[in-house]
């Protein structure tokens, strides 16, 4: 069983990305504030973005990685993205949002939908996520959707937009199938 290709949420629509989303995705992916805590460098060109969307489509079909763009239904323009990667009996979620849409609860709404869907998949017993210890906005989102801080991963992740080459600490969050609220 695979997750849905589209989510119609109260204020958002999540859908699989299209090659035509490249310009919108570049707009937020090239914002240093959006990419600040990412584990990839801030985008400086659109090179490779179409190929990345096609690669995500292959991963979707293989059942290993699912990615949706976050859109406002009336515009259907990508304002962010959310992923769910499956490995064994667990799923990892991650998200980002255009700065213009921060503080509106959109990341929480999208993350809650993907978390609930991931835990409804028969093979998934837990969902986990990590975020930089300084990323207070993502910490709030993960806690709002019911995930519990599981620990700290010391010097675990390179954040090239913060400290190139220097691993930073990250919090680990988890929610098991029986813990869903």
What is the three-class DSSP state of 1? Answer: coil
Q: Which structural domains are found in the chain, ordered by start? A: 6-179 (3.40.630.30)
pLDDT, position 170: 97
pLDDT in tens, 127-174: 999 999 999 999 999 999 999 999 999 999 999 999 889 999 999 999
State how far the Cα of 156 lies from the Cα of 150, in Å rounded to an integer.
Answer: 15
From residue 158, alpha-carbon distances to 123, 140, 161 in Å are 30, 22, 9
pLDDT, position 44: 96
- Which residue, 64, 60, 79, 57, is CA-closest to 9? 79
pLDDT, position 167: 96
pLDDT in tens, 50-97: 999 999 999 999 999 999 999 999 999 999 999 999 999 999 999 999
pTM of the model: 0.94
Q: How confident is the model at residue 180 (pLDDT cuts 50, 70, 90)?
A: low
């Amino acid at each position: 069983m695979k997750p849905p290709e589209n989510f119609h949420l109260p204020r958002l629509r999540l859908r699989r990305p299209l090659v035509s989303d490249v310009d919108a995705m570049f707009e937020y992916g090239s914002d240093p504030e959006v990419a600040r805590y990412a584990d990839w460098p801030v985008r400086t060109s659109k090179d490779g973005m179409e190929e990345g969307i096609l690669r995500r489509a292959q991963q979707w079909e293989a059942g290993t990685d699912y990615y949706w763009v976050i859109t406002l239904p009336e515009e259907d323009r990508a304002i962010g993205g959310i992923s769910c990667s499956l490995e064994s009996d667990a799923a990892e979620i991650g998200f980002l949002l255009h700065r213009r849409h921060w503080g509106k609860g959109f990341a929480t709404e999208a993350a809650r939908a993907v978390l609930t869907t991931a835990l409804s998949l028969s093979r998934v017993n837990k969902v986990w996520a990590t975020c930089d210890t300084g990323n207070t906005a993502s910490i709030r989102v993960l806690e709002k959707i019911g995930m519990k801080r599981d620990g700290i991963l010391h010097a675990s992740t390179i954040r090239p937009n913060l400290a190139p080459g220097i691993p930073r600490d990250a919090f680990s969050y988890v929610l098991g199938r029986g813990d869903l609220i």
